[in-house]
Structure 1
């Protein structure tokens, strides 16, 4: 069965974005093997705001061939958008109700794993509904002091088991966890 994988950058003090939504602190080093992660998935889950911002993003004409290849790979995936709004979009399927049931059905499909891209409110919903199978949290060596925290409004304790750690040249440490009881 497919797994829902939250692959996310977080600051040392636990924020997924700064107070104004900034993510300019994120580091993308070649030793992080993000291409390998993209090869391991065939589906991306977005919230509507994230989808509208990044779901169809096109690299600038003067972007590197690596960046263009990355976005081409992202856009080759099946896309689902979780939103209160419903709309027709030939590049994505919109889901406005029955999240847990629809996620369970998608996980039963043949294929590769699913990237829970986010945004913050979708991630919070998936955490509360216990829909995340793997947490791949990349801790970046920067502290912001404030911003949007990864874990907020937890209704109960979230216990995780560390299954792997990766350390990169930049000082980013990737922690890969699975939920203990789900």
Structure 2
């Protein structure tokens, strides 16, 4: 029997728990001295599917000057409105739980939930996330877009591992089910 695919969050955050400033800036992140690509290439080898929200997709397209960086992966963008598919991207406007459960049951590698905060909040509330790989930058930005939104949900985690990439610390958790 094959193993079911996992939904994995792989993301960087400030020490005070933000993934971006209120202006959607990541400048604070790029000021921190890392080591190589901080485990990013290694992680990419474990996934073949990417999930992201429309706002995150728009941010990526703006900052990558229209060149989608995940062309060799299956990519699904969740949107509240109906949008026609684009090169390398399928837009999804359906029940997140049903869609994701169906996706997890397909053959393949793990699935990366890239972001953003609203989409992640829904995934956490619905207990769809299996693992969290959080890379913590030694920066306090004081205000911004939180990684974890307030709400009525709780996840119990188990530490799978920790490692450092120069000034960054990576914490790898599995979600207790």
Shift of 1:3: 0.6
Comparing both structures, which one devotes a greater share of its residues to helix?
Answer: 1
Shift of 1:154: 2.5
Q: 1:1-182 counterparts in 2 under 5 A?
A: 1-27=4-30, 29-30=35-36, 32-54=38-60, 58=64, 71=69, 74-90=70-86, 91-169=88-166, 171-180=167-176, 182=177
TM superposition score normalised by structure 1: 0.85
For the residues of structure 1 that align with 2:126 and 2:108, how far apart are their CA atoms?
23
Q: Which runs of 4+ in 1 moved over 4 A?
A: 55-60
- Distance of aligned partners of 1:117 and 1:141 in 2 relative to their CA distance in 1, 3 Å threshold: same
TM superposition score normalised by structure 2: 0.87
Shift of 1:58: 4.3
Q: Residue 159 of structure 2 aligns to a residue in which SS?
A: strand
Shift of 1:150: 1.2
Q: Residue 153 of structure 1 aligns to a residue in which SS?
A: coil
Q: Residue 143 of structure 1 aligns to a residue in which SS?
A: coil
Number of positions where the alignment pairs a residue of Structure 1 with one of Structure 2: 170
1:62-119 superposed Cα distances (whole Å, 9 cap, x missing partner): xxxxxx9x93xx2211010111111111422222121101101111111111110111
Shift of 1:138: 0.5
In the alignment, is the contact (CA less than 8 A) between 1:4 and 1:134 conserved in 2?
Answer: yes
The alignment's C-alpha RMSD in Å is 2.1
Unaligned segments of structure 2, at least 5 residues: none
For the residues of structure 1 that align with 2:153 and 2:56, how far apart are their CA atoms?
26
Greater CA drift, 21-30 or 125-134: 21-30
Unaligned segments of structure 1, at least 5 residues: 61-67
- Distance of aligned partners of 1:19 and 1:58 in 2 relative to their CA distance in 1, 3 Å threshold: closer
For the residues of structure 1 that align with 2:140 and 2:117, how far apart are their CA atoms?
18
